[in-house]
Amino acid sequence: MTRRIALALALLAYVGAGLSNSGGSYAALGLLDRGILLAQQTEPPSLRVYPVQGAVSVIAGAGGNVTVQNGKDGILLVDTGLAASSTRLTTEVRARFKGPVLWIVNTHLHPDHVGGNDAFAQPDAKKPLDFLGARLDGTQPLKIIAHSNVLARLCAPGTSGPRLSDAGLPRDEYATPFKDLRFNDEPVVLHHEPRAHTDGDTIVYFPRSDVVSTGDIFTPGGYPFIDVANGGSVSGEIAALNHILDLTVPGHTQEGGTYVARPRAHLRRSRRRGISRHGGDRPRPRPGRDQEGHDARAGAGRRAVARLRHRVRHRHEFRESGGFRRGDLSKSDGEVGTRLMRRMCAIVALVAGLCEGLTAQGPPGPPVPAPPKIGREGALVDFTGTWVSPVMEDYRWRMVTPLKGDAASIPYKQTVVAIINAWNPAKDEAAGLQCKAYGAPALMRIPGRLRISWQDDSTLKIEADQGTQTRLLRFTAGGALANAQAKPTWQGQSIARWEPGQAPTAGGLALGTSARWGNRSQSLEVVTTNLREGYLRKNGVPYSDQTTLTEYFDRFSEPDGQDWFTVTTIVNDPVHLAAPFVTTTDFRREPSDGKFSPVPCSAR
């Protein structure tokens, strides 16, 4: 029997050696020659941190073991344990290791391995929504990486996997046999193990530390767990275990390194057939003894066997009910026809791009509820608070009343020149039209502060201190105006919605099941009509009552912790403008509304 296989069997038979917890059943570490394997555990009562080797440590007790690689760049985690343990885990990681958590590798989709993603993906309380990691020191934002099958299954409608927030999903998925990273001056190699424990397994190899983190592929406490429902298979599991051997066990001509000579034998042959294929030096196993060493302890093997049988039976049932088999012909035509129709509908829906989870767009996102939530309930971004716009663009048209006739940058029609030149603020004051320059198409450009709040669950209120104006952005299910016949006003009637993703090909069905762009919207879209005619600028550049105003509000955070939003304002006036007039205005959140000081409109 070769050394490799002996080690493999030792590996599989390994129970409780290395580290063990008196209160739990986990067997976390096994040292094999130069390789070190980290395996999973059940649920120990408390978190414990064990240095392993090199830059790698392991935290036990959070559900699945959490591997930590820590160095000058920050922290890389392999798996994040159960959601229930996430608070303890984040506290422990931040207390015991230095630097930001910049990488999370999920070995597979089970809740005891991805459950803590959300906790780490949440922005630091001091720096909310700090997508860049709030640093200018060269570090990167948190990235969560897993094989693409993990992301696909986590996002699939009706998934049995845990529900993660958008930020907690492993969106930096990879789909290649392996992927290299470099972190903390060490290569980090992710190997995909196809259809093993699941169909999205990753094992993580740290060559310099000489450690392999195996996820649930290596389970020294019992038989491997094959999650057939999530794409696992016995053959893939065996192949994965052999791959771990390849990574960790030196070849017989190699001295101490991790180089592995071509395998001379694989477990598959001996395990499945019970026949030695490893050369004459290995005695033929006795019947019934092939599993010896795998039953870790009293009872453990029986549990594992029962679990394995359950999975096999489950797969069998799935195949019985899910496939078209010859046996179906014995069923009634109606029964077969119904099933066939359902399947055809599913296929047609999929082809037609109507199956949101698969075809909607982009990387598979969380299932989009239908109908979409509106108003406060559907808010993806919080715009409430007090905001100020530092005037860094169009300064001499915004901070002072522009000179008469100065309409630079506005694509107005030639016919408007006479109106511009006729501007007379005294006349406006006399007519009670001091607020002509404070209408919705111009309000965001006036230097001042905005106070944004929810008036009710379906109405977002924007109060502007300059001109003491109030805009009401109404979310309605059908997008209809509250009263289309109402008298036009400075602020008009605004219909708001959370901007949906880009629709499939306009005018037709999307062909095929190609992924699509633009599915992850977070913008607030506002369309305003029923406007009273007013001024785009205080010096009388006009817009008409035929104007339609479209706005997009987008919020972001900066590395210094400041929150901003940019509003893109598109003024479409067929009467006075030769083209849509598009401006963008940037607002920064203020810590309080202490500087919000309403003043009346002024025509000058």
Partner 1 sequence: MRVVLVALFLAMPAVPAWAQVDFSGAWASLYHEDLPERLPGPELGDYMGLPINDAARLRGDSYDADRISIVPEYHCRPHGGDYQMRGLSNMRIDPVLDPVTQQLVAWHTRMGFQEMERTIWMDGRSHPDDMAPHTWSGFSTGTWQNNMLNVRTTHLKENYMRRNGIARSVNATFTEHWMRHGNYLTVTTVITDSAFLTEPLVRSQTWVLDPGQRMGRDICEYGDEVPRERKDYVPNHLPGTNPFLHEVADWYGLPYQVTRGGAETLYPEYRSKMPKPEKPKLVCERYCNCGAAANAVCLLAPSPPPSGQR
Which of residues 43 and 554 has its CB atom nearest to partner 1 in the complex?
554
Contact between 581 and 556 (Cβ < 8 Å): no
Which of residues 70 and 523 has its CB atom nearest to partner 1 in the complex?
523
Contact between 289 and 283 (Cβ < 8 Å): no
Which of residues 499 and 545 has its CB atom nearest to partner 1 in the complex?
499
Shortest spacing between CB 270 and partner 1, in angstroms: 35
How many whole angstroms separate alpha carbon 573 and alpha carbon 412? 9
Shortest spacing between CB 45 and partner 1, in angstroms: 36
User: Distance of alpha carbon 223 from its chain centroid, rounded?
Assistant: 33
Classified as helix, coil or strand, 242 is: helix
For residue 35, the cross-strand partners are: 32
How many whole angstroms separate alpha carbon 68 and alpha carbon 558? 28
Contact between 144 and 170 (Cβ < 8 Å): yes
Which of residues 313 and 413 has its CB atom nearest to partner 1 in the complex?
413
Shortest spacing between CB 192 and partner 1, in angstroms: 12
How many whole angstroms separate alpha carbon 136 and alpha carbon 132? 9
Residues in the chain, total: 604
Shortest spacing between CB 418 and partner 1, in angstroms: 13
Q: Pseudo-torsion of CA 431, 436, 438, 442, nearest 10°?
A: -170
Q: Which two tokens stand for residue 331?
A: 């069923």
N- to C-terminal Cα separation, the chain = 95
Q: Which two tokens stand for residue 272?
A: 């499945």
Which of residues 31 and 129 has its CB atom nearest to partner 1 in the complex?
129
Which of residues 123 and 251 has its CB atom nearest to partner 1 in the complex?
123
Shortest spacing between CB 395 and partner 1, in angstroms: 4
Shortest spacing between CB 438 and partner 1, in angstroms: 14
Identify the residue whose tokens are 């105003």.
549
**Amino acid, res. 42:** T
Which of residues 210 and 428 has its CB atom nearest to partner 1 in the complex?
428
**Amino acid, res. 507:** G
Identify the residue whose tokens are 């109405």.
459
Q: Which two tokens stand for residue 154?
A: 């986590």
Shortest spacing between CB 453 and partner 1, in angstroms: 20
Which of residues 547 and 583 has its CB atom nearest to partner 1 in the complex?
583
> Which residues 6+ apart lie within 8 Å of 353 measured at CB?
359, 360, 504, 509, 510, 513, 516
Alpha helices in 75-191 (DSSP H): 86-96, 111-114, 117-121, 148-155
Which of residues 246 and 465 has its CB atom nearest to partner 1 in the complex?
465
Shortest spacing between CB 420 and partner 1, in angstroms: 9
Q: Which two tokens stand for residue 83?
A: 């959601």
Q: Which two tokens stand for residue 521?
A: 């919207």
Which of residues 248 and 389 has its CB atom nearest to partner 1 in the complex?
389
Contact between 464 and 450 (Cβ < 8 Å): yes
Contact between 92 and 75 (Cβ < 8 Å): no
Shortest spacing between CB 589 and partner 1, in angstroms: 13
Q: Calculate ∠ Cα 365-230-214, nearest 5°.
A: 95
Shortest spacing between CB 551 and partner 1, in angstroms: 10
Shortest spacing between CB 41 and partner 1, in angstroms: 30
Which of residues 344 and 482 has its CB atom nearest to partner 1 in the complex?
344
